[in-house]
C-alpha cells in the first residue's frame, strides 16, 4: 500500500489529492483550457511514499508506459499539424462532408444528364439507320414517336410508385430500364417490332424519373432551397441535350451509329452502380419541413402483394385533385409548355436548314444553342426565385412571375421571327435562342408548384400533368408536319400554334395558379 500526494493538471483543471487514488480529491479548480503539449490527456506531478520494492517497480513500469503513449500521441498530433501546414487535406473526396441532400440532388441531376443523352441520340442516329435499313420518313417517324408512347403511359404509374416506394427506388429502376433498353437498340434494329418495343421501354424508364425526382425533392429540400434544387436537377436535361448533340455525331462518324447506343447506355448502367453507394439517411431538418406523415407504404418492398399495392392506389385522392383550380392550371400550363418545347426540339433543325438556308453542320450546331443557353438562364432564375421567397415575397407570386417569363419570352421571339422584318438568319437564330432559353424559368414556376401545394402527393401530381404534357410529343410534332405540307409556311405550322398555347397558358396560369399548401383529404 502507498500513500499518495498527487498534483493533477489535466486539460481544464488543477486538482490536489491525498490518498490512495485520484478519486479522493479534496478540491478541483479550473486553470486552463488548452491541452498541455507533449502529453495526450493529463500531466501528473506524483509524490508517493511506497511500501515495497515490487510496488515501486509496478509504479515505474506504469510511468514508462504513460510516457511512451504520450510521445506517440504527441507525434501523431505534430504529424497532423505538419500536414495541415503544407496543405494536405485528409477529407477526400471534396464532397465527403456535403449534406446528404446535396449528394442526392447532385446524383439525380447526373441521371437526368444521361436521360436526355439517351433521348437525343436517336434523333441523330436515325439518318444513317434509315439509309441502312431503307426506311422512309413515315417509318422513321414511327420509330421516333414510339418513345413518347412509353413516356406518356408511364407518368401516372411513375408518380404512384414514387409515392408508394419512394422516389429513390423508382429512379434507380427507371435509369436501369432505359439504359438497358438503349444498349439493346443496335441488336434489335433490324426487327421493327423489337426496335419499337425497345424505344417504348426507354420512354417508360425516362417517364417515371421526373416524378421520382420530384418526390425526393419534396421530401428532402426545404421551400427556400426548392427552386435551386428543381432547377439543378431538371437542368441536367439541358446539359444532357448539349452533350448528346455534341458527342453523337463524331462517335457515329468514327465508330458507327450503334456506338452511341452502347456508350450512352453504359453510362446509365455505371450511374446505377455508383448510386448504390450514395447513402440515404434521416436528415436533421426533415422533421421541421416535412408536413405530412410517412405512410406505411413507404416502408414496403418491391415484393409487396398486389392487393396491398391496389390499396395504396385507392388511397390517392384522385377526385380531390380534379376539384382544385390550381391543379387544372398546372395541367393546362404543362400541356402548353410541352407543345412549344417538343415541336421546336423536333422541327427547329429542319427550320434552320430549309428556311434559313443553313447547311446541315451549321443547323446541328445551332440546335445546341437553346439548351446550352438554358443552363445559364436556369441558374439565374432559381437564385432569383429563392431570394424573393426568402425575403418574404409570397410563393404564389414568385411562381406566377417565373412562369409568365417562361411563356411570354418565347412567344414574343416567335412573333418577331414570323414577321418579315428583314432580319438576317443569324439574327433570327439569336432571337429564337434567347426566347427558348428564357422558357427555362418554368423550372422555378410550374415545376416547383407540385411540391409547393402538396409535398406528399407531388410525384402523383407531376405524373398527372406530365401525362398531359406528353401528348404534344405525339400529336403536336405530327400536326406540325401536316400543317407544313398544307400551308408551306413555318409561321403557320410551327410558330402560330406555339404562340397560341403560350399566350393562353399565361392567362390560365395567372388566373388560377396557386402555391398554397392543400391537404387534398378525401371527402366523406
Query: What CA–CA distance (Å, rounded) separates 9 from 17?
Result: 11
Query: What CA–CA distance (Å, rounded) separates 158 from 173?
Result: 11
Query: What CA–CA distance (Å, rounded) separates 240 from 120?
Result: 9
CA dihedral sign of residues 392, 396, 397, 399: positive
Q: Which cell numbers in the block locate residue 203?
A: 420512354
The per-residue pLDDT for 138 is: 66
The per-residue pLDDT for 43 is: 42
Q: Is 460 exposed, middle or buried (0-12, 13-18, 19+ CB in 10 A)?
A: buried
Q: Where are the beta strands (DSSP E) in 305-357?
A: none
Indicate the helix (H) or strand (E) that contains 15. Answer: strand 13-19
- Nearest CA among 298, 278, 344 for reference residue 110: 278
Confidence (pTM) = 0.65
The per-residue pLDDT for 64 is: 59
Residue 129 CB coordination number (10 Å): 20
Cβ(348)–Cβ(487) below 8 Å:
no
Q: DSSP string spanning 42-66?
A: EEEEEEEE-S-HHHHHHHHHHHHHH
Query: What CA–CA distance (Å, rounded) separates 171 from 176?
Result: 9
Q: What is the pLDDT along the chain (524 residues), one digit of tens a residue?
A: 444 444 444 444 444 444 444 444 444 444 444 444 444 444 444 444 444 555 556 656 655 555 555 544 455 555 555 544 444 455 555 556 666 777 788 888 999 999 989 888 887 787 788 889 888 766 777 787 788 889 888 888 888 888 888 888 899 999 999 999 999 999 999 899 999 999 999 999 999 998 888 888 877 777 777 778 888 888 888 888 888 878 888 888 889 999 999 999 999 999 999 888 776 544 444 444 444 444 444 444 445 544 555 555 677 788 888 899 999 999 999 999 999 988 887 778 778 877 888 765 676 678 788 888 888 888 889 889 989 999 999 999 999 999 999 999 999 999 998 888 888 888 888 999 999 999 999 989 998 898 889 888 887 888 889 889 888 888 887 788 788 888 888 889 889 999 999 999 999 999 999 999 888 875 54
Neighbouring residues of 124: CB distance < 8 A, sequence distance ≥ 6: 244, 245, 248, 249, 252, 260, 364
Q: Is 126 exposed, middle or buried (0-12, 13-18, 19+ CB in 10 A)?
A: middle
CA distances from 82 to 77, 78, 90, 310, 418 (A): 9, 6, 12, 62, 67
* Angle CA 478–483–486, to nearest 5: 130
- Nearest CA among 279, 298, 286 for reference residue 107: 279
- Nearest CA among 251, 279, 242, 484 for reference residue 365: 242
Paired sense of beta strands 42-49 and 3-10, if any:
antiparallel
Query: What CA–CA distance (Å, rounded) separates 123 from 208?
Result: 21
The per-residue pLDDT for 200 is: 93
The per-residue pLDDT for 199 is: 92
Phi, psi of 206 (to 5 degrees): -75, -25
Return the CA Rg of the chain: 32
Q: Which cell numbers in the block locate residue 219?
A: 421530401
Q: Which residues pair with 6 in a beta bridge?
A: 17, 46
Q: Which cell numbers in the block locate residue 444?
A: 422555378
Q: Which cell numbers in the block locate residue 449?
A: 408548384
> Helical H runs in 167-305?
167-188, 192-207, 209-220, 223-255, 258-275, 286-289
CA distances from 414 to 115, 147, 490, 493, 496 (A): 28, 27, 11, 12, 8
Residue 297 CB coordination number (10 Å): 17
Q: Grid coordinates 412562369 are at which residue?
A: 403
- Nearest CA among 115, 210, 286, 184 for reference residue 466: 210
Amino acid at each position: 500500500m502507498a500513500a499518495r500526494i498527487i498534483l493533477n493538471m489535466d486539460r481544464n483543471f488543477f486538482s490536489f489529492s491525498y490518498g490512495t487514488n485520484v478519486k479522493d480529491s479534496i478540491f478541483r479548480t479550473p486553470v486552463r483550457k488548452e491541452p498541455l503539449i507533449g502529453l495526450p490527456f493529463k500531466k501528473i506531478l506524483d509524490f508517493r511514499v511506497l511500501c515495497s520494492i515490487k510496488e515501486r517497480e509496478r509504479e515505474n513500469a506504469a510511468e514508462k508506459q504513460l510516457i511512451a503513449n504520450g510521445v506517440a500521441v504527441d507525434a501523431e498530433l505534430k504529424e497532423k499539424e505538419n500536414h495541415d501546414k503544407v496543405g494536405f487535406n485528409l477529407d477526400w473526396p471534396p464532397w465527403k462532408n456535403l449534406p446528404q441532400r446535396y449528394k442526392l440532388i447532385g446524383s439525380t441531376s447526373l441521371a437526368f444528364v444521361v436521360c436526355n443523352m439517351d433521348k437525343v441520340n436517336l434523333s441523330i442516329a436515325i439518318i444513317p439507320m434509315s439509309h441502312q435499313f431503307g426506311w422512309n420518313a413515315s417509318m422513321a417517324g414511327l420509330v421516333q414517336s414510339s418513345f413518347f408512347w412509353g413516356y406518356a403511359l408511364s407518368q401516372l404509374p411513375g408518380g404512384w410508385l414514387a409515392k408508394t416506394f419512394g422516389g429513390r427506388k423508382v429512379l434507380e429502376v427507371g435509369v436501369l430500364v432505359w439504359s438497358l433498353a438503349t444498349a439493346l437498340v443496335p441488336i434489335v434494329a433490324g426487327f421493327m417490332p423489337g426496335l419499337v418495343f425497345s424505344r417504348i421501354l426507354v420512354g417508360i424508364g425516362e417517364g417515371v424519373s421526373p416524378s421520382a425526382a420530384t418526390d425526393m425533392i419534396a421530401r428532402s429540400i426545404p421551400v427556400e432551397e426548392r427552386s435551386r434544387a428543381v432547377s439543378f436537377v431538371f437542368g441536367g436535361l439541358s446539359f444532357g441535350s448539349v452533350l448528346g448533340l455534341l458527342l453523337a455525331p463524331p462517335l457515329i462518324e468514327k465508330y458507327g451509329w450503334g456506338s452511341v447506343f452502347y456508350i450512352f447506355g453504359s453510362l446509365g448502367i455505371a450511374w446505377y452502380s455508383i448510386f448504390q453507394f450514395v447513402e440515404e439517411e434521416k436528415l436533421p431538418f426533415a422533421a421541421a419541413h416535412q408536413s405530412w406523415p410517412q405512410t406505411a407504404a413507404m416502408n414496403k418492398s418491391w415484393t409487396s402483394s398486389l392487393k396491398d399495392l391496389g390499396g395504396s392506389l385507392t388511397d390517392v385522392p384522385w377526385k380531390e385533385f380534379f376539384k382544385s383550380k390550381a391543379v387544372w392550371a398546372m395541367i393546362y400550363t404543362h400541356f402548353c409548355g410541352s407543345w412549344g418545347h417538343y415541336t421546336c426540339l423536333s422541327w427547329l433543325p429542319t427550320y434552320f436548314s430549309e428556311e434559313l438556308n443553313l447547311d446541315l453542320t451549321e443547323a446541328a450546331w445551332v440546335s445546341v444553342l437553346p439548351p446550352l443557353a438554358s443552363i445559364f438562364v436556369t441558374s439565374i432564375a432559381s437564385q432569383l426565385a429563392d431570394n424573393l421567397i426568402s425575403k418574404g415575397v409570397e410563393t404564389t407570386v414568385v411562381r406566377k412571375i417565373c412562369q409568365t417569363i417562361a411563356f411570354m419570352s418565347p412567344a414574343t421571339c416567335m412573333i418577331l421571327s414570323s414577321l418579315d422584318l428583314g432580319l438576317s438568319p443569324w439574327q433570327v437564330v439569336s432571337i429564337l435562342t434567347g426566347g427558348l432559353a428564357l422558357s427555362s424559368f418554368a423550372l422555378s414556376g410550374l415545376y416547383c408548384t407540385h411540391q409547393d401545394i402538396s409535398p406528399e402527393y407531388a410525384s402523383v401530381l407531376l405524373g398527372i400533368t406530365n401525362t398531359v404534357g406528353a401528348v404534344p410529343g405525339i400529336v403536336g410534332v405530327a400536326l406540325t408536319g401536316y400543317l407544313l405540307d398544307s400551308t408551306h409556311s413555318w409561321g403557320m405550322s410551327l410558330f402560330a400554334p406555339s404562340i397560341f398555347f403560350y399566350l393562353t397558358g399565361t392567362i390560365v396560369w395567372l388566373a388560377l395558379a396557386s402555391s398554397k399548401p392543400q391537404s387534398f383529404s378525401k371527402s366523406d
